[in-house]
Amino acid sequence: MRTVVHIPTGDEAEQETGLAIARNLLEDETDSIDEVALVAQGGGIATVRDDGDTVDKIKSLLEDGVAVSACSNTLDMMDLEESDLVSGVETVPEGAVEVTRLQDEGYAYLRP
């Protein structure tokens, strides 16, 4: 099974829950989760910035194979560049389209 964790929110507690959920999916004892994706957009972009509080958690998720994406549309609105993101985070044109695409491919959806 595959799961996409969607982080569209500026709420820090929800952001932390989202990162914890991605971690827990990786550590699933039943080993039934094959792929985990994380898509950040809107206020959730804070989670993937390289000057944020969650840099270590994002690096760790990337190292363990999570596909982490950031919405370019949001980056434009916030005057951010790809170089402002944790190294390894991919950009996608629009986060909502990416989350749709992943569900269309069979990913389950989780919104912390």
**Chain residues in the site for its own copies (CB under 8 A):** 1, 3, 5-6, 8-10, 13-14, 17, 20-21, 24-25, 28-30, 32-33, 41-43, 73, 93-94, 96-97, 99-101, 103-104, 108-112
Question: Closest approach of Cβ 62 to its own copies, in Å?
Answer: 19
Nearer to its own copies, 41 or 69 (CB): 41
Residue pair 40/70 in contact (Cβ under 8 Å)? The answer is yes
Nearer to its own copies, 73 or 91 (CB): 73
**How would DSSP label each residue in 23-47?**
HHHHT-TT----EEEEEE-GGGGGG
Dist. CA 97–CA 73, nearest whole Å: 11
